[in-house]
Every structure is written in structure tokens, then in C-alpha cells.
Amino acid sequence: MIGNMSLKEKSIVFIGFMGVGKTTVAQLVAKKLYRDFVDIDEEIEKEFGMPTTEIFKRIGEKKFREREKEYVLHYCKQPLKIISLGGGAFLQEDIREACLDHSIVFYLDISWDSWKERLHMLVDSRPVLQNKSMDDIKDLFNARKSTYEEHNSKLMTDNFNEEEVADYIIDSLKLAWDIHE
Ligand code: S3P
């Protein structure tokens, strides 16, 4: 037992840069483990009834970050959830602390070279990428890396598809659960 929740009951939180595949992988892991899936961006979008880009434009990033914190702090303390965080969430210290205290934090890593191949698919739906040069985006990518270094487990995803990543994560979780039983 760690804290008042056993390791097996703890929620699993996925972190990593935009477009690394957190949502897809988390959905697959949730399905394979018969757990509830929670996407923090989707919760905020539902609340405001508009996509993230619109929330940033019309309501502002500050409010988005406040709601993001509320939702993450709420869900990461609940048992048996599989949670996908937005790529900027872990910049907030309260979010980092709560997730690391209450849940299992999985960092999905990707190299810059692999990530930049995906940029064209992401730019329209990601407000923090808009009106930025490639150099600006690379700086953001590198700056975020150090934030994600606080995690419980990490996987470099470059050479795997999302199904393979999900299976690897489930195998490593089962191993950890067995050891701590
Ligand atoms: C953000 C990442 C997005 C979303 C918002 C801000 C960021 O989530 O939360 O656009 O600051 O990195 P994804 O990581 O799911 O793209």
C-alpha cells in the first residue's frame, strides 16, 4: 500500500508533449484494463461548449489553466481512472505534485525529429503552436522536456505505434502490480 490507495487502484496519468499520442494511448489502455478514460482537454471543452482554440481566443489561457488544474486535481485522486493530460498541464506545480502524490505518472516521450513530422496535423487545433516559427516551437519542445522528467515511468515512442505503446504500458503495469502485491 502506498498512501491510502493500493498501487493497483491508483489512477494512471499520461503526460508528454502535444501530439505524442497521449489521448489515443490512454483510450487504448483504458479499454484493455476495463477502466474509465478521462481526457482533461475534453472535460474543459465540454464545460465551455467550444474547442480549445476557441477557449484560448475567447476566454483566455488563464481561465483554461484554472479549469485544467481543477479537473486534474479532482480526477488524479480518484481510483482506477486512465487520464490524458494536455501537454501544458504539468507546467503547473500543483498539478505535478497532485499527480505524483496520488497517481502513476506515465511520460510518453518522442524525439524532435519524429515529432516535427507530425506538426502539420497538429498546428490548427493547438493554440500554443499558432503564429510560431519552427525555432520557437523547437525551443518550446525542449523547454517542456525538463518538466516531464518528473514521472514514475517513461517510454520513448518513436519506433512504436499506439497499440504497441499501450501493450508495453500494460505489461509494465502488470509487472509493477505483481511486485507490489
Ligand atoms: C497544450 C496542449 C493541448 C491543450 C492546449 C494546450 C499545451 O493538449 O491542452 O492546447 O500547452 O501544450 P495536447 O497535449 O493534448 O495537445
Look up residue 170 and give its three cell numbers: 500494460
Given ligand 1 and candidates 38, 41, 90, 110, which is best to mutate, with the most ligand atoms within 8 Å of its CB? 41
Grid cell digits, residue 16: 508528454
How many Å apart are CA 59 and CA 80, to the nearest integer? 32
Work out the percent of the chain whose per-residue pLDDT is above 90: 94
Q: Which residues contact 61 (CB under 8 A, 6 or more apart)?
A: 127
pLDDT in tens, 158-181: 999 999 999 999 999 999 898 877
Ligand 1 midpoint to CA 171 (Å) = 27
**Arithmetic mean of pLDDT, 6-35:** 97
CA of 87 to the centre of ligand 1 (A): 4
Q: Which of 81-85, 144-148, 159-163, 175-179 has the lowest mean pLDDT?
A: 175-179
| C-alpha 14 to ligand 1 mean position (Å) | 12
Q: Distance between CA 91 and CA 74 in Å, rounded?
A: 17
How many other C-beta atoms are found inside a 10 Å radius of the C-beta of residue 1? Answer: 9
Q: Report the chain's mean pLDDT, rounded to a whole number.
A: 95
| Ligand 1 pocket check for 16: Cβ under 6 Å | no
